[in-house]
């Protein structure tokens, strides 16, 4: 009877893990819509293709190589050593009775693919598909698994006490830093900056897609955080079958929700202060920044901390995006660093302020802070160095970005031979900060979208000028 109960509990718990895994997988639909909405219409199919191939190529490489690499790195850096051959054979041919091996692998794989797909939004509109896919292979096979090895797989950051509950730094900040580095190495889109350094705003082609993608991601995030919190049932000979601690699970669900909501309010509020308008895209990305900020600490902070972390994660979004865009001159198309990178780092560093252990008197602020700082620095340094090496090699070989002609034509046509919106035609236009319009590639054609009136900092340009093309069309 006890054996039967243990089997039932194991079965229920594995179904739970698979269910939340499928929920996290569905986040790829959110990423696809969010990124497609933020790029120009001539690059939509390219962005969707990158999202599809990120999953397809990345998950295969993670199974063949990445999962074992994380185990090996964890063993060696954690001081316990590692059986290199065993790390592969245990995954490829699990021992009889190891029923959860492949279930647990898939749960880890969807986290890995989330980190991988973040990068695509930063390099949209100019990266060669082959360069991006090659980087995805290396990220899934080595770069991300090394980070997991240092942390969740028992490596030295884990033994130091670094706290990252569901990947605020390990997944999201890592992906955001990788995306920013790749965008820096590749360079900005050709019409992003003027000769005097002023910024041209290049609006995405569909706000509706971007908001839909945001809501899909927010829905899937419950799988990310709450799915990580606990299995539904527990079994012991003494107590029989018992429910997991749903007070703990409830804490995770609560702070995830509060962080999400506060992130939207923080970003919208800063947008209002800066421009006098509540920018829709800032609000949408603020939802995600709030979620990222709370992800590494959702299991172990007092609930008021979730509101503070979410507000700050959302509020930093317009500030960090403006700094990257105007000061660093890095063209981060989908704002992946302020949404995933800096928000993830912020959440991890604020952990000691709101940690349950601190408020309960079980740990000091310094004890909690030092591992967080060391963990953030190590993960950021490794990600930046590895990504810069890969994309630096591509740039040196002339393979990092498409040609000028292909960029003007659009990656849908040049890289895939398709037109996402064949019935409309025409090129998108970038609006100058001073209200003038820059048209790359010559004439506007009938049916092309009129210029946006949005300024570089998210506000509105008054009095956008009409520009007459050579054929007299306004």
The whole-chain average pLDDT of the chain stands at: 89
Contact 294, 347 (CB under 8 A): yes
Tell me: pLDDT of 123 over 70.
yes
Quick: pLDDT tens for 401-458: 999 999 999 999 999 999 999 877 555 555 554 444 433 443 334 334 434 444 334 3
Quick: pLDDT tens for 281-333: 999 999 999 999 999 999 999 999 999 999 999 999 999 999 999 999 999 99
Q: Is 231 exposed, middle or buried (0-12, 13-18, 19+ CB in 10 A)?
A: middle
What does the alpha-carbon distance between residue 113 and residue 383 come to, in Å, rounded to a whole number? 15
pLDDT value, residue 448: 40
The candidate with the shortest Cα–Cα distance to 386, out of 187, 188, 182, is: 182
Distance of CA 223 to the CA centre of its chain: 15
Backbone conformation region of residue 167, classed left if phi is above 0, alpha if psi is from -120 to 50, else beta: left
> Two tokens at 138?
């290396």
Per domain, the residue ranges of the chain are 2-396
Band of pLDDT at residue 79, cut at 50, 70 and 90: confident
> Two tokens at 300?
């172990």
For 196-200, the CB contacts below 8 A with 24+ separation are 197/329, 198/432, 198/433, 198/434, 199/325, 199/326, 199/433, 199/456, 200/430, 200/431, 200/432, 200/433, 200/438, 200/456
Please name the fold of domain 2-396: Ammonium transporter fold (1.10.3430)
pLDDT value, residue 465: 37
Tell me: pLDDT of 385 over 60.
yes
User: In what helix (H) or strand (E) does residue 234 lie, and over which residues does it extend?
Assistant: strand 233-236
- Identify the residue whose tokens are 């008021």: 304
Helix pair angle (342-354, 365-396), 10° resolution: 170
pLDDT value, residue 427: 53
pLDDT value, residue 425: 59
Contact 269, 315 (CB under 8 A): yes
Q: In the Cβ-directed half-sphere of 183, how many Cα atoms lie within 13 Å?
A: 29
What does the alpha-carbon distance between residue 51 and residue 142 come to, in Å, rounded to a whole number? 20
> What pTM does this model have?
0.88
Tell me: pLDDT of 224 over 80.
yes
What does the alpha-carbon distance between residue 57 and residue 133 come to, in Å, rounded to a whole number? 8
Instruction: DSSP letter for 401, please.
Output: B
Band of pLDDT at residue 459, cut at 50, 70 and 90: very low
Q: In Å, what is the CA distance from 79 to each residue of 73, 75, 154, 159, 350?
A: 10, 6, 9, 9, 29
Quick: pLDDT tens for 124-177: 999 999 999 999 999 999 999 999 999 999 999 999 999 999 999 999 999 999
Q: In Å, what is the CA distance from 15 to each residue of 90, 92, 138, 225, 231?
A: 21, 21, 31, 17, 10
């Amino acid at each position: 009877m006890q054996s039967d109960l243990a089997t039932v509990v194991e079965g229920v718990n594995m179904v739970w893990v698979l269910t939340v895994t499928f929920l996290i997988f569905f986040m790829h639909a959110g990423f696809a819509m969010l990124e497609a909405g933020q790029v120009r219409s001539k690059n939509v199919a390219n962005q969707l293709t990158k999202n599809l191939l990120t999953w397809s190529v990345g998950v295969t490489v993670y199974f063949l190589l990445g999962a074992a690499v994380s185990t090996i790195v964890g063993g060696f850096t954690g001081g316990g050593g590692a059986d290199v051959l065993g790390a592969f054979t245990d995954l490829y041919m699990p021992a009889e009775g190891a029923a959860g091996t492949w279930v647990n692998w898939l749960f880890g794989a969807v986290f890995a693919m989330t980190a991988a797909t973040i990068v695509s939004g930063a390099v949209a509109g100019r990266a060669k598909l082959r360069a991006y896919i090659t980087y995805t292979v290396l990220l899934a096979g080595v770069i991300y698994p090394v980070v997991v090895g240092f942390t969740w797989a028992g490596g030295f950051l884990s033994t130091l006490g670094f706290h990252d509950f569901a990947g605020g730094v390990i997944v999201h900040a890592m992906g955001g830093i990788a995306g920013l580095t790749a965008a820096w190495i590749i360079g900005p889109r050709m019409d992003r900056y003027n000769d005097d350094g002023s910024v041209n705003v290049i609006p995405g082609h569909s706000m509706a897609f971007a908001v839909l993608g945001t809501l899909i991601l927010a829905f899937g995030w419950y799988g990310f955080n709450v799915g990580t919190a606990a299995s539904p049932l527990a079994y012991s000979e003494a107590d029989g079958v018992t429910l997991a601690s749903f007070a703990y699970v409830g804490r995770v669900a609560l702070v995830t929700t509060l962080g999400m909501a506060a992130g939207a309010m923080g970003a919208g509020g800063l947008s209002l202060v800066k421009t006098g308008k509540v920018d829709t895209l800032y609000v949408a990305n603020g939802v995600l920044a709030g979620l990222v900020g709370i992800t590494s600490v959702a299991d172990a902070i007092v609930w008021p901390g979730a509101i503070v972390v979410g507000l700050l994660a959302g509020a930093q979004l317009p500030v960090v995006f403006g700094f990257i865009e105007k000061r660093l001159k890095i063209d981060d198309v989908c704002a992946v660093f302020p949404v995933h990178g800096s928000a993830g780092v912020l959440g991890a560093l604020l952990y000691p302020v709101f940690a349950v252990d601190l408020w309960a008197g079980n740990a000091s602020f310094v004890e909690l802070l030092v591992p967080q700082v060391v963990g953030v620095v190590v993960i950021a340094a490794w990600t930046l160095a590895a990504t810069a090496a890969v994309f630096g090699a591509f740039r040196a070989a002339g393979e990092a970005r498409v040609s000028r002609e292909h960029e003007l034509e659009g990656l849908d046509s040049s890289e895939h031979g398709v037109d996402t919106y064949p019935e409309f035609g025409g090129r998108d236009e970038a609006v100058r900060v001073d209200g003038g319009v820059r048209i790359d590639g010559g004439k506007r054609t009938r049916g092309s979208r009129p210029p946006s009136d949005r300024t570089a900092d998210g506000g509105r340009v008054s009095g956008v000028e009409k520009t007459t093309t050579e054929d007299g069309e306004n």
